[in-house]
Amino acid sequence: MQKLKVAIYGQTTEGYKLAARLVDKASVTLIDETLQMATEVDQRFIRSHPDLDELMSSETLMDLKPIESALTDANVIFFTPKLRRPSEESLMESTSKLRDLSKYVSKGTTVVNALPTGPGGNSENIVLLEKQTGLTIGESLEYAYTPLHPRSAEPAVVASFSRGKDGQPLEALGLKLNSRSVSAAEHWYVSDVLLGAVKLASEIELGKRAREAKVEFQTAGDDVYLDEFSPHLYELKAIQSSDEAGESISYLAGTAVKSFENYVRYVVDEAREMLKEKELKASRTRIVVLWNLDRYEMRAERLQMAESIVQRLRDYVSDVDSVSGPNLSAGSEILDSQKHNLVIVCSKGDREIANQSRKNSRGVGVSLLSATPGLRRE
């Protein structure tokens, strides 16, 4: 039996991990939507380049070809775009990239949206696809929704618009349907995001009040780091801007967005307060924003929040760095032995690095600020 032809539109971490997941079951082509070029990937290719960061940093000569043939020949196209515009502009950027993709969609293709949406977001995508292709979803074109968890090939839910086809060809690719309705899947995912986001936003704001009142405050969510809640800003903005969300739901999403965006300011204010209490001079202080960032993931919120924290802190201390990726070693090189080092820890994994660095740097002044709802100090 001939393998399905799969095109993954978006050279992102999620798209690459999805390629690795599907390469045993299909002929997979990975598309760089920025360069408008495609390359075929197989098991050997994935083994040689286990992740996208390694691939992009290597000097491998890839067999590139125009995207037109890769997309027009595909039985299934996964939409995994790299979004880099700021704030609400990322929603327009995703629409623009889906419009570009639709130029090459052929009759009988299944288009799979792997990017989360707000209520009605998939209906808007369907209208766009039908208008651009002249095809009809459910008849001459199929549509599915598999919102991927950040930096993962694991979908939160799998739903298809196919009528009476039992989810094919998704089932053939090992993606088992767990919702018979795209709209129902959409609402389930929105509910899940809101439940977590509103709870965290409440804890962030209560933590801020507790710090101002100088009272002890610790919640069950105080081991949740900035790394874990920041990517969901995209979904929250999509929910907030949705015409179908309803006033109350949009309000809840908007409140969470405001709290998460304000959190950058809370981190900076807390760092300043720590420097003030320790009577540290700016010239004798180094601040490290310790965050193992992924520059290839679909959503840009982590990258943008890290940059915002660094730029705000530089208004007070000139020696501020965001340390990530290969530079996250367990040694002391992230610290300056001639200065007091304030390390802002942004994920659980970074916490281990910070602890090890402090352990290996005895005699060096180090303070830790954990980027959790309560902004825990050490």
In the prediction, which pLDDT does 330 show? 46
Check whether 127 has a pLDDT greater than 80. Answer: yes
Yes or no: say if 345 and 354 are a contact pair by the CB < 8 Å rule.
Answer: yes
Helix (H, G, I), strand (E, B) or coil at 305: helix
- Over residues 56-75, the pLDDT tens digits come to 887 666 778 889 999 999 99
* 4-9 and 76-79 strand pairing: parallel
In the prediction, which pLDDT does 328 show? 57
Domain 4-180 matches domain 186-377 at the CATH topology level:
yes
Q: Does domain 186-377 have CATH number 3.40.50.1400?
A: yes
Residues 6+ apart with CB under 8 A from 234: 83, 90, 91, 116, 299, 301
H-helix or E-strand containing 111? strand 110-113
- Over residues 286-326, the pLDDT tens digits come to 999 999 999 999 999 999 999 999 999 999 999 999 988 55
Mean pLDDT estimate for the chain = 90
Q: What is the pTM of this model?
A: 0.92
CATH architecture of 4-180: 3-Layer(aba) Sandwich (3.40)
Helix intervals (H) in the chain: 13-22, 43-48, 52-57, 67-72, 89-102, 121-133, 182-213, 226-229, 233-241, 247-277, 301-313, 348-359
- Each domain of the chain, given as residue ranges in start order, spans 4-180, 186-377
Check whether 43 has a pLDDT greater than 70. Answer: yes
